[in-house]
Amino acid sequence: MASESPIRFGTDGWRALIARDYTFANVRACAHGVCRLLAAHGNADRGLVVGYDSRFGSADFAAEVAAVATSLGVPTTLADRVVPTPVVSFEVIRRKAGGGVVITASHNSAAWNGFKYKPDYGGSAAPAIIDELESHIAAVLAEGAEAATPHAARDLLTTAELAPPYVANLASVVDLDAIRNAGLRVGFDAMHGAGAGYLEAALGAGSTSVVEMRGEHNPAFPGMGQPEPIAPNLAPSIAEARGGRFDVVVANDGDADRLGVLDERGEFITTLEVFSLLCLHQLEVRGVRGPLVRSITQSAMVDKLGALFDVPVHRTAVGFKFLGPVMMEVDAVAAGEESGGYAFRGNIPERDGILSALLFLDLMVQTGKRPSELIEMLHEKVGEHAYDRLDVALEPGAHAPDVAALGAAPPERLAGLRVEGTDTTDGVRYLLEDGFWGLIRPSGTEPLLRIYAEGDSPERVAEMIEALRGVAGV
């Protein structure tokens, strides 16, 4: 049962505005809670891995976590520099650590920071783990144990470069040599985040060129609303790609666990199309078999691919705290959510934007197709699909629509498509004819109402989004 702690973990971790709620005291409370969680399960001696992104104060907040952990007798490995979230997750598994912490607010805007906890399996913490962690944090706050900065036990603290083992492991999951020698012209937009330098480090010297854009760490994330790799935030990359400079552009979010892709013409490929293509890559190009896992906001194309290749498809609520455990349970080939977070067998049970980018490049190499041609190939197999998402900011103190009530009284049709059922697992999802769908859902990480739609054309999707706005009253 979840506690009443003022520090609440959403879809992935706790996030808050720096200085207002995201303070050293609250970060210390989270660190104390993690250490109590480790101790409760006999994992404290296995140690903790701590990493951080390029945001304001992230290095200092991470050092505070390490100070708390070592003062409580937990051996701690602290990253020696900015590091992507998937690198920390991989290191937790490699070291057989008790858990990991990443100081990051992922794709949120510059005013935010956050605290992600990774259990010993290296993925997002499942809901039961989060409930227990929140209870420990609430107890810490009630006791006032977070009030003062402790003295770090230096004999328990190790500072380490985490990148080399992670980069070396990539070669066991994807054919880096094939990509390296394919002669591709690749643009990589690091969005001033933690993923800067990783694609080039993985591919090294060869006929394929990697041109990194916005590779300098900058906590202000200039020129974008937030470091989320979606079209409105990729204007410089789009301009470069439209000039014919690249065969493809890949982009990572602030902590490099998400992927965005632009085709050779600078057109944004939706996250639903990217994941569907990466599933097709596994099933047809690589010939791998096994279940697929998708969130309810991912594409119906995944279900159609599952039927085509006779593999099961498991659907979950939004967030890798749901996807990851199912992925491990069924030994899935791939798992993905609409946000651009994808995971693959043989790596970590968690989103990895760097590996996802490399797998997309491998798909291009193995098929000899440009991104726009890959979309045509996908639609030939599953039919035409289009998608869009609208984020509506909620005013302070405003309540999101009552999704249970919306689900109990669905419209008969949405933009001309028959409503065949509803699903209130996470928000309210309207199940439409031909496998299409629309969804109204409060964000788990930001004060936003998200409206999603997948239909048979961009025009239909635009109509669906407007119709859903009307249903939601926004």
Q: Which residue has the higher pLDDT, 427 or 197?
A: 197
**Residue 112 and residue 119: Cα distance in Å, rounded?**
23
Contacts (Cβ under 8 Å, ≥6 apart) of 211: 185, 186, 187, 188, 245, 246
H helices of 157-270, in order, are 163-173, 176-180, 198-203, 235-242
pLDDT over threshold 70, residue 4: no
Tell me the average pLDDT across 405-415.
88
Mean of all residue pLDDT scores within the chain:
94
> Do strands 292-295 and 268-269 pair parallel, antiparallel, or not at all (unpaired)?
unpaired
Three-class DSSP category at 335: strand
User: Model confidence over 296-332: pLDDT tens digits?
Assistant: 989 999 999 999 999 999 999 889 999 999 999 999 9
Strands (DSSP E) contained in 181-287 are 185-189, 209-213, 248-252, 259-262, 268-269
User: Looking at the predicted structure, is the pLDDT value of residue 5 above 70?
Assistant: no
Find all residues with CB under 8 Å of 297, minimum gap 6, and list them. Answer: 318, 337, 338, 339, 439, 441, 452
Sequence-distant (6+) residues with CB within 8 A of 45 are: 75, 98
Would you state the pLDDT for residue 312?
98
CB 52 within 8 A of CB 79: yes
**Residue count of the chain:** 474
Q: Which residue, chain included where needed, has tokens 């009030």?
A: 147
The pLDDT > 90 percentage for the chain reads: 83
pLDDT for position 1: 37
Q: Is 163 within 8 Å of 201 (Cβ atoms)?
A: yes
Q: What is the dihedral of CA 372, 373, 379, 384, to 10 degrees?
A: 40
d(CA 307, CA 300): 11
Domains and CATH numbers, the chain: 14-161 (3.40.120.10), 166-382 (3.40.120.10), 386-472 (3.30.310.50)
Q: Are 229 and 189 in contact (CB under 8 A)?
A: yes
Residue carrying the six token digits 């650590």: 97
Tokens of 387: 């998608």
Q: How far apart are CA 38 and CA 131, in angstroms?
A: 14
Per-residue model confidence as pLDDT tens digits over 186-234: 999 999 999 999 999 999 889 999 999 999 999 999 999 999 999 999 9
Check residue 72 and give its pLDDT.
96
Q: Using one digit for the tens of pLDDT, what is the confidence trace for 326-356?
A: 999 999 999 999 999 999 999 999 999 999 9
Tens of pLDDT along 75-101?
999 999 999 999 999 999 999 999 999
- The least confident of 23-32, 123-132, 139-148, 217-226 is 139-148
- The band of 400, judged by pLDDT with boundaries at 50, 70 and 90, is confident
Taking 3-state DSSP, the helix, strand and coil percentages for the chain, each rounded to the nearest 5, stand at 40, 20, 40
The pLDDT of residue 230 is: 94
pTM: 0.92
pLDDT average, residue stretch 274-287: 98
- The mean per-residue pLDDT over the stretch 278-294 comes to 97
Q: What is the pLDDT of residue 409?
A: 87
Tokens found for residue 254: 């602030």
- Gap between the Cα atoms of 134 and 37, Å rounded: 10
Distant-in-sequence, close-in-space partners of 108: CB < 8 Å, separation ≥ 6: 15, 114, 226, 254, 445, 446
Q: How confident is the model at residue 3 (pLDDT cuts 50, 70, 90)?
A: very low
Pair of tokens at residue 256: 């490099």
DSSP 338-392: TTS-EEETTS-SS--HHHHHHHHHHHHHHHT--HHHHHHHHHHHH---EEEEEEE
